[in-house]
C-alpha cells in the first residue's frame, strides 16, 4: 500500500504515462505526495490522466521522447514548474514482433529510436539536475532485455541496450550521487500487449512459465518503482530487477513463432 507523503516535495518525470505501466507509476508517486510530470505523444490522453490528479502537483508535457530536443524541453518544463527533478522514470516504449529478415528500416528505427535513444536523451538531459538532487533514474526495461523471445529480435535488442545502459550509467554517475536502476517486467496489462493477452493459446503456453500464475498489473511495476526511488533503496544502483511473477526463473519464454 502507498505510504502517504513519502515523496512529498519530490518531482518525478514519468514518460509514457498516459496509460498502462506509466500511468500506474505516475499515480503511485502522486499518491505518495510527489509532483508528477505526465508525458506521452497523445496530449489528450495525458490530459485525461492529469484531470484525475491534484493540479497543483501535476504537469502535462506531451511529446516524443525519440526527439533529442524534446528531452531538454520536458526537463526544462519540470524544473521551471517545480524547481528541480528527483527521479526520472524512462517508461515510454514500443513493441514489435516480426522475423528480422522481414523487418524494414522504418520498423527498426521506430523501435530503437524510442526504446533506446529516447532513454539516452532523457538521461543525458536529466543528469545535471539529478546531480543537484542526488536523485535517481529508473529505466523500464523488460525480461526480453535479459533473455529473448523468438519473434521479437529488434525489441529484444532495444531492451538489452537499456539493460546494459543501466549498468554502465550507474557506474558512471554513482560518484555524483545518482542511482540508476531498471525494472524488467514480463507481460503486464496494458494496451501494448492486448495482442498477446487476447490470444488464448499463447497465454496458456505463457502461463506455464509464470511461477505466480498471472500476468503483471501496472500496480506491480509501480510498487517496485516507488521502492527504487525511495530512501529504502539508497544503497541500490546498477540493478536490473525482474518484476515478472517468476518468468525469468524459468527456461526462457514461449516460442512466439508457433502462434504467428
Furthest-apart CA atoms within the chain: distance in Å: 52
Name the 3-class secondary structure at 244: coil
Nearest to 134 by CA among 89, 76, 179: 179
Taken in order 4, 6, 8, 10, is the CA torsion positive or negative? negative
**DSSP per-residue letters across 128-172:** HHHHHHT-EEEEE--GGGTS--TT-HHHHHHHHHHHHHHHHHHHH
Active-site residue identified among 116, 155, 159, 161? 155
Alpha helix ranges (H) inside 194-253: 194-197, 200-207, 218-229
- H/E element, 13: strand 11-14
DSSP state of 238: S
Catalytic annotation present for 155: yes
Distance between CA atoms of residues 255 and 38, nearest Å:
35
> Would you please indicate which residues are annotated as catalytic (active-site) residues?
155
Amino acid at each position: 500500500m502507498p505510504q502517504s507523503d513519502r515523496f512529498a516535495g519530490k518531482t518525478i518525470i514519468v514518460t509514457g504515462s498516459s496509460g498502462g505501466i506509466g500511468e500506474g507509476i505516475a499515480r503511485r508517486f502522486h499518491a505518495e505526495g510527489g509532483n508528477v510530470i505526465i508525458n506521452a505523444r497523445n496530449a489528450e490522453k495525458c490530459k485525461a490522466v492529469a484531470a484525475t490528479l491534484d493540479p497543483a502537483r501535476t504537469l502535462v508535457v506531451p511529446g516524443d521522447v525519440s526527439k533529442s530536443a524534446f528531452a531538454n524541453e520536458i526537463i526544462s518544463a519540470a524544473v521551471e514548474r517545480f524547481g528541480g527533478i528527483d527521479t526520472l522514470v524512462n517508461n515510454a516504449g514500443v513493441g514489435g514482433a516480426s522475423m528480422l529478415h522481414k523487418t524494414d528500416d522504418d520498423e527498426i528505427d521506430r523501435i530503437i529510436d524510442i526504446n533506446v535513444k529516447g532513454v539516452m536523451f532523457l538521461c543525458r538531459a536529466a543528469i545535471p539536475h539529478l546531480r543537484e538532487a542526488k536523485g535517481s533514474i529508473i529505466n523500464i526495461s523488460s525480461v526480453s532485455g535479459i533473455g529473448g523471445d523468438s519473434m521479437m529480435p529488434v525489441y529484444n535488442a532495444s531492451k538489452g541496450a537499456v539493460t546494459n545502459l543501466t549498468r554502465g550509467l550507474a557506474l558512471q554517475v554513482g560518484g555524483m550521487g545518482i542511482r540508476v536502476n531498471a525494472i524488467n517486467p514480463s507481460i503486464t496489462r496494458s494496451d501494448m500487449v492486448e495482442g498477446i493477452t487476447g490470444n488464448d493459446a499463447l497465454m496458456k503456453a505463457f502461463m506455464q512459465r509464470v511461477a505466480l500464475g498471472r500476468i503483471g498489473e501496472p500496480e506491480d511495476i509501480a510498487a517496485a518503482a516507488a521502492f527504487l526511488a525511495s530512501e529504502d533503496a539508497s544503497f541500490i544502483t546498477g540493478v536490473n530487477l525482474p518484476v515478472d511473477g517468476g518468468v525469468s526463473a524459468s527456461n526462457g519464454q514461449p516460442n512466439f513463432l508457433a502462434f504467428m
